[in-house]
Amino acid sequence: MTLFFRCSMIPLLLSLVVQAQAQTAPVIMPAAPELAAKSYILVDFDSNVPIVEKLADERVEPASLTKIMTAYIVFDELRKGNLRLDDLVTVSAKAWRTGGSKTFIEVGKQVRVEDLLRGMIVQSGNDATIALAEHIAGTEEVFAAMMNQQAKNLGMLNSHFKNSTGLPEPEHFTTARDLATLARLMIRQFPEYYRWYAEKEFTFNGITQRNRNMLLWRDESVDGMKTGHTESAGYCLVASAKREGMRLVSVILGAKSENGRAQETQSLINFGFRFYETHKLYSANEALSTARIWKGAVEQLPIGLQETLFVTIPRGQYPNLNASVQLLPTITAPASMGQEMGTVQISLAGKLVAERPLIALQDVEEGGLFSRLVDEVMLMIKQ
């Protein structure tokens, strides 16, 4: 078992966390809204903290929300240079005859990747989606295997895809939590393509179709993402909104109507913005403190975090945050950059709200023979 010692409220650490002097009274938090949907979740984009959730890990049909994963793979292929937006895709008979929502591409014709992407994102075209899948993987079945591998890579632990469109099929499922994970990563990794999710309409082949995400008209803070519907899945919506620097991601699965999924999503994100706030506490690779390192070429080892730390807390409670660290009782050289040296804990009213590993921010080689012997004696005395 790894042993630690606790350094409660290190001044340097606290100065980075708590800026206000006086503590504020606890806020009165109303109950989260109860939504008319099978499952749902609301998470903060930066902290990934769930603000509201219900049956978020229950496996459900995703309908056309599946196309978020399809788009993710297409965007990844673009980033890797395996695909270009102006590449031409030949439309297969399978893509052309697929039912459901359509972009109205024509069999045998060649269509640009960008047009197929916008047809899939804005119009939810099943034909455009399959054309993209076949162009990348040869067949939709192989593309589905790519989707499942990508889901595993992204930590979507309760998802399995059988097709690229979301048409009902046995063993085709995901969860609200997995979709929130996918949406966050999509927005973070592909901001240059995410903008298409805000388009209110798209015209192809002389046919103009509107985006089915009603919130693009109702709430100017909403800038994406995707709707879905089948008779068995109900009405579904993944949405993201940003207000005053805070971004939220919501997932509603199995609502009762098209208008209902928009109203329930609006209630969810309004609750999150009204009663919660997100703060950046520490930047990645920023020295939060130093630790004594024994038998090394230097005596002080800077420690910090591998990733930027955000916390999402009830509004008005930022001055009440407390921070403490736990370090290994003895740190000896050599040490490698990125090596775990302890943890930092952030608490509010005695409740842990965040905990992250602390890492060495530089390599430290062993010191000379004399300095190692001196440190050995000092360690014996210390212990």
| CATH number of the domain to which 347 belongs | 2.60.410.10
pLDDT interval class at 25 (50, 70, 90)? low
pLDDT at 21 over 90: no
Same domain for 181 and 236, yes or no, is: yes
Residue 205 located in a structural domain: yes
Question: How far from chain centre, in Å, is Cα 324?
Answer: 26
Distances (CA, A) of 52 to 15, 41, 256, 317, 327: 30, 6, 20, 18, 33
Q: Is residue 264 part of a domain?
A: no
Active-site annotation holder among 47, 124, 240, 250: 124
Which of 237, 255, 273 is the C-terminal boundary of a domain? 255
Assigned token pair, 253: 């699965």
- Do 76 and 10 lie in one domain? The reply is no
CATH number for the domain including 225?
3.40.710.10
Of the candidate ranges 71-75, 173-177, 217-221, 333-337, the one whose mean pLDDT is the lowest: 333-337
Quick one: which of 288, 274, 211 has its CA closest to 244? 274
pLDDT for 18 equals 42
Query: 378: pLDDT confidence band, cut at 50, 70 and 90?
Result: confident
Q: Measure Cα distances from 297 to 289, 293, 294, 360 in Å.
A: 19, 9, 9, 15
321 and 219 fall within a common domain: no
Query: 64 an active-site residue?
Result: yes
357 vs 26: which has the higher pLDDT? 357
The pLDDT assigned to 46 comes to 97
Residue 180 and residue 48 share a domain: yes
Burial label for 147, CB within 10 Å (0-12, 13-18, 19+), is buried
Q: Is residue 10 domain-shared with residue 62, that is, in the same domain?
A: no
Report yes or no on 212 lying in a domain: yes
The 8-class DSSP code of residue 9 comes to T
Confidence of residue 11 (pLDDT cuts 50, 70, 90): very low
- What is the three-class DSSP state of 3? coil
Supply the pLDDT for residue 26.
56
Residues 206, 292: one domain? Answer: no
E-strand spans in 152-256?
201-204, 207-210, 222-230, 234-243, 246-255
> Within this chain, do residues 15 and 56 fall inside the same structural domain, yes or no?
no
Number of domains making up the chain: 2
In a domain, 49, yes or no: yes
Question: What are the φ and ψ backbone dihedral angles of 134, each rounded to 5 degrees?
Answer: -70, -35
Q: What is the pLDDT of residue 10?
A: 42
Q: What is the mean pLDDT of residues 103-107?
A: 97
Q: Determine the structural domain holding residue 200 and report its residue range.
A: 39-255
| pLDDT, tens only, 218-268 | 999 999 999 999 999 999 999 999 999 999 999 999 999 999 999 999 999
CA distance 170 to 70: 18
Give yes or no: residues 80 and 192 share one domain.
Answer: yes
Cα–Cα nearest to 312, from 52, 54, 44:
44
If one compares 357 and 8, the residue with the highest pLDDT of the two is 357
Co-location of 185 and 46 in the same domain? yes
| pLDDT at position 380 over 90 | no
Residue 240's DSSP bridge partners are 224, 249
Q: How far is it, in rounded angstroms, from Cα 361 to Cα 363?
A: 7
Q: Answer yes or no: do 224 and 308 share one domain.
A: no
CA distances from 82 to 73, 75, 76, 91, 280 (A): 11, 10, 9, 19, 36
Range 84-104 average pLDDT = 97
Burial zone of 16 (CB within 10 Å; 0-12 exposed, 13-18 middle, 19+ buried): middle
Q: Which of 38, 47, 67, 295 is catalytic?
A: 67
The verdict on residue 351 lying in a domain is yes
Position 30 scores a pLDDT of 87
- Lowest mean pLDDT, pick from 181-185, 208-212, 293-297: 293-297
Active site residue 67: yes
Q: Decide which of 364 and 262 is more confident.
A: 262
Whether 265 maps to a domain, the answer reads no
Query: What is the per-residue burial (b if ≥16 Cβ within 10 Å, else e) of 49-76?
Result: bebbbbbbeebbbbbbbbbbbbbbbbbb
Whether residues 230 and 311 fall in one domain = no
β-pair type (222-230, 234-243): antiparallel
Let me know whether 217 and 298 are in one domain.
no
pLDDT at residue 366 in the model: 81
Please tell me which residue in 47, 64, 250, 267 is annotated as part of the active site. 64
Q: Is residue 32 part of a domain?
A: no
Q: Copy the structure tokens of residue 8.
A: 């409660």
Predicted confidence band of residue 370 (pLDDT cuts 50, 70, 90): confident
**71, amino acid identity:** A
The answer to pTM > 0.85 is yes
pLDDT at res. 257: 96
Confirm if 110 and 88 have CB atoms less than 8 A apart.
yes
Classified as helix, coil or strand, 156 is coil
For 269-310, the pLDDT digits (tens) are 999 999 999 999 999 999 988 998 888 889 899 999 999 999
Listed residue (228, 281, 225, 217) closest to 248, CA to CA:
225
Report yes or no on 345 lying in a domain: yes
Look at residue 12 and tell me whether its pLDDT is greater than 80.
no
